[in-house]
C-alpha cells in the first residue's frame, strides 16, 4: 500500500526512527476509529538480510548488498503492507529505482530524512553497544558519499526531515501523506 524510505548518515538514528514510526502506524491501525482496509506495517533493514556493516567498506561488496535489499523490498511491497525500508538509502539513483518500483505497483511513497550532525553520528557510531557499528573508514567514506534527499525531486517527495533533537517522528503528517484520498479519515461523512 505504501513504501516509506528512510535515509540518513550511518548511525544517525534511522532504526530508532523506523521503530517509532512503526509503533505510531500500528497504533493508528488498531484504533477503533480506523475503518480502512486491514494493513500491516513491516520494517525491512540490512539486519533482516544479514548484511554486515563491513560491506560498506568498498563499493564492490556494497553492490550485491544493495541488490539484495532491492529484491527483498520488491518481494515485500504489496497492497496490504506499509513497508518501511530502514537502510542508508544514500544514493540518489537507488532511491529513484525504489520510487519507480513502488509506483509501478501504485503504492504511495514518502521519504524520511533522519538528520544528525556528522559529529554526533560519529560519536554514536563509536559508542553503540549493539555490535552494529560501521568500521571507521567505511563510516567516513559514507559521510562523503552521502547524497541528501531533496523535496524538489519527485522520488524523494513528500520528504519529512527529522532532526536529532526531535523527540518523535511527524507521524500524523506521514500518515496523511500515505493515506489521504485512499483511506477515509474518522468521522468524515
Ligand atoms: P542507524 O539505524 O542510523 O544506524 P540507530 O537508530 O541504530 O542508527 O542508532 C545508532 C546509535 O545512536 C544507537 O546506539 C542509538 O542509541 C544512538 N542514537 C540514535 N539516535 C539518537 C538520538 N537522537 N540521541 C541519542 N542517541 C541516539
Answer yes or no: is the C-beta of 11 below 6 A from any ligand 1 atom. Answer: yes
Cα(13) to centroid(ligand 1), Å: 4
Answer yes or no: is the C-beta of 16 below 6 A from any ligand 1 atom. Answer: yes
| pLDDT digits (tens), the chain, 189 positions | 999 999 999 999 999 999 999 999 999 999 999 999 999 999 999 999 999 999 998 888 899 999 999 999 999 999 999 999 999 999 999 999 999 999 999 999 999 999 999 999 999 999 999 999 999 999 999 999 999 999 999 999 999 999 999 999 999 999 999 999 888 777 655
Nearest-CA residue for ligand 1 atom 26 is 124
ipTM of the predicted structure?
0.98
Instruction: Say if residue 7 is exposed, middle or buried (CB neighbours under 10 Å; 0-12, 13-18, 19+).
Output: buried
Task: Report whether 168 contacts 119 (CB < 8 A).
Answer: no
pLDDT of the residue at 22: 98
Ordered by start, the domain boundaries in the chain are 2-179
pLDDT of the residue at 80: 97
Task: Report whether 142 contacts 54 (CB < 8 A).
Answer: no
CATH 3.40.50.300 fits 2-179, yes or no: yes
Answer yes or no: is the C-beta of 15 below 6 A from any ligand 1 atom. Answer: yes
Task: Report whether 65 contacts 71 (CB < 8 A).
Answer: no
Atom of ligand 1 nearest to the CA of 124: 12
pLDDT of the residue at 187: 67
- 162: closest CA among 20, 39, 41, 31? 20
Nearest-CA residue for ligand 1 atom 19 is 13
Task: Report whether 53 contacts 132 (CB < 8 A).
Answer: yes
Nearest-CA residue for ligand 1 atom 1 is 11
Amino acid at each position: 500500500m505504501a513504501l516509506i524510505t528512510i535515509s540518513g548518515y550511518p548511525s544517525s538514528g534511522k532504526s530508532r526512527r523506523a521503530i517509532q514510526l512503526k509503533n505510531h502506524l500500528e497504533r493508528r491501525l488498531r484504533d477503533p476509529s480506523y475503518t480502512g482496509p486491514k494493513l500491516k506495517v513491516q520494517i525491512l533493514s540490512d539486519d533482516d538480510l544479514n548484511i554486515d556493516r563491513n560491506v560498506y567498506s568498498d563499493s564492490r561488496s556494497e553492490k550485491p548488498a544493495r541488490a539484495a535489499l532491492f529484491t527483498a523490498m520488491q518481494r515485500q511491497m504489496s497492497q496490504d503492507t506499509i513497508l518501511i525500508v530502514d537502510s542508508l538509502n544514500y544514493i540518489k539513483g537507488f532511491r529513484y529505482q525504489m520510487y519507480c518500483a513502488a509506483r509501478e505497483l501504485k503504492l504511495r511513497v514518502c521519504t524520511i530524512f533522519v538528520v544528525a550532525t556528522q559529529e554526533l553520528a560519529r560519536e554514536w557510531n563509536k559508542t553503540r553497544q549493539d555490535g552494529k557499528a560501521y568500521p571507521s573508514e567505511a563510516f567516513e567514506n559514507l559521510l562523503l558519499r552521502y547524497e541528501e534527499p531533496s523535496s524538489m525531486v519527485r522520488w524523494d517527495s513528500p520528504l519529512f526531515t527529522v532532526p536529532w533533537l526531535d523527540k518523535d517522528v511527524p507521524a500524523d503528517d506521514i500518515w496523511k501523506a500515505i493515506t489521504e484520498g485512499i483511506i477515509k479519515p474518522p468521522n468524515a461523512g
